[in-house]
């Protein structure tokens, strides 16, 4: 388990490869070399600029700022670029 603390307050932690957010701050890497998959019945937000290898979106994804997919993007849910 990994935790993100700001001034001693836990704002996020990673449990079993799931990131749980507790505060007003959201983090994501700028580059993903592994494929990303958003399962059905999930909503997510990614803040760019961001580069991903392959992405599959079965749920609902909102992308803020620049978004680059190196190879393939498969969408059966929805993607909104802001």
Higher confidence at residue 11 or residue 75?
Answer: 75
With cut-offs at 50, 70 and 90, classify the pLDDT of residue 12. Answer: confident
Residue 13 has pLDDT above 70, yes or no: yes
From 65, 50, 42, 82, select the one nearest 73 (Cα to Cα). Answer: 50
pTM, full prediction:
0.70
Q: CA angle 23-29-33, nearest 5°?
A: 145
Percent of the chain that is helix, strand, coil (3-state, to 5):
0, 55, 45
Q: Give the tens place of pLDDT for each residue, 37-54.
A: 998 988 888 898 999 999
């Amino acid at each position: 388990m990994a935790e993100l603390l700001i001034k001693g307050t836990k704002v996020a932690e990673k449990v079993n490869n799931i990131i749980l957010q507790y505060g007003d701050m959201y983090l994501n890497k700028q580059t993903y070399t592994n494929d990303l998959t958003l399962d059905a019945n999930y909503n997510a937000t990614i803040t760019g600029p961001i580069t991903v290898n392959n992405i599959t979106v079965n749920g609902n994804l909102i992308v803020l700022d620049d978004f680059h997919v190196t190879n393939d993007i498969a969408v059966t849910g929805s993607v909104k670029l802001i």
